[in-house]
Structure 1
Amino acid sequence: MAMVRPYRAADLPALYDICVRTADNGADGSHLYENPKIVGEIFAAPYAALLPDHAFVAEDDHGVAGYILGAPDTRAFEARCEAEWWPRLRERYADTADVPSRQRTREQWDAYYIHHPPPNPQACIDAAPAHLHIDLLPRLQGQGVGKRLMDAFLARVGGRAHLGCQAPNTRAQRFYEIYGFRRLEGVGPKSVVWMAIG
């Protein structure tokens, strides 16, 4: 049985690893990247660095294999990232705005994101100001670990949060709906399904 516990600084390498190994719509995305850390620089590390008290991990006998990360105030977190997180990364990752969007690789899209991070849709903020990211490696899936992580995070933020899920990741969407999230229709591009709870 995996243990759910608060994040510790020593867990950061595991967060990067889990992030890339779930980056292909929930499946291993390692093959999509020459630099496997770049996706974690966006969707995992800033939360661990800036809001570690809102991060939880799931650990079994083989190590950390799942996490939930997020922010209680999405707009405040976006502003803090702009001030404290993105500038450092922009020195390391070149902007790919000059690459036609249809020709960008996943890694080039992530580099573009670092230079042009999109704000979460206002309709999501209106539904629930907090947001989260949750990822589990296959060995922890289907055991109730995701629910325990979700319980821990939502207790920390008062039971209200939103999230975005890539449209092809229907397995994750089923989990969210069973947990109690509702879809926010007509929000953002069709490539992302936005959901909220609370």
Structure 2
Amino acid sequence: MPRTIRPFHPSDLGAIYRICLLTGHAGGDSSHLYRNPDLLAHLYAGPYPVADPGMTFVVADDEGIAGYIVATADSAGFERWREEHWWPVLREQYPLVEDPKNGTEDHVLVGRIHETWDDLPVYAEYPAHMHIDLLPRVQGQGLGRQLIETLAVALRERGVRGLHLGVSLENPGAIAFYHRVGFETLETRDWGLLLGLRLE
């Protein structure tokens, strides 16, 4: 089955939303956690290709889109863009709600939509950040590494010197993968690790 990595096309956005949900629980299916299937991608996938389509790449095969990498070259600028263009509509659409105590986590994501996302010190040396997700059918074939290498080329062309990401401690496979492709641990947080890759 031929698989290609290509730049984002607007028709890919629906598939990116689905893949984000299907890989959102430490790499596994998070559908059981969210009554609204779009919330996770509203935070961690959707705004990136809307803000800067040139920083998103997808894995395509004859079944459709099977994976993606979404990124921004300028995390501080991206947060300002989200505050002005992305969050206002979503904050109006999704008012804050209490925990329904039924095992779902929509309220957690809605709370994040209403947060102010401040600049972080890591932006100085690693201004870009990314999210990457692959469906099981294309995992273990080197495509994750190829996506990161493709993104790194695009970032270098813009003169970006560093790339960072966060990864949960509940996903040791992802941590090992990122270390294999050159990321270093920058900080340990209560939620996981902050990793960085120098591009210079």
Q: Same fold (TM over 0.5)?
A: yes
In the alignment, what sits opposite 2:141?
A: 143
Q: Shift of the alpha carbon at 1:49?
A: 1.0
Normalising to structure 2: TM-score of the pair?
0.90
Cα drift, residue 103 of structure 1? 9.1
Equivalent position amino acid for 2:197 in 1: I
Give deviations 1:20-49, integer Å, cap 9, x for gaps. Answer: 001101101011111111101111110121
Q: Does 1:165 align with 2:167?
A: yes
Matches of 2:61 and 2:116 in 1, distance apart? 34
Shift of 1:185: 2.6
TM normalised by structure 1 equals 0.91
- Unpaired runs of 5+ in structure 1? none
CA distance in 2, matches of 1:4, 1:85: 27
Tell me how far apart the structure 2 counterparts of residues 108 and 17 of structure 1 sit (CA, whole Å). 20
Q: Distance in 1 between matches of 2:191 and 2:102?
A: 17
- Equivalent residue, structure 2, for 1:116: 115
- Cα–Cα, structure 1 residues 117 and 23, in superposed 2: closer, same or farther, change >3 Å? farther
- RMSD over aligned CA atoms reads 1.8
After TM superposition, list the pairs within 5 Å mapping 1:31-180 onto structure 2: 31-96=32-97, 99=98, 105-119=104-118, 121-122=120-121, 124-158=122-156, 160-180=162-182
Which ranges in structure 2 are unaligned for 5 or more consecutive residues?
none
Q: Return the letter of the residue paired with 2:193.
A: V
Q: Report how far residue 61 of structure 1 moved.
A: 1.4
Deviations 1:28-83 (A, max 9, x none): 10111111111011111101211111100001111101000111010000000000
How high is the sequence identity, in percent, across the aligned residues? 37
Q: 1:4 maps to what in 2?
A: 5
Quote the residue 1:190 is aligned against: 190
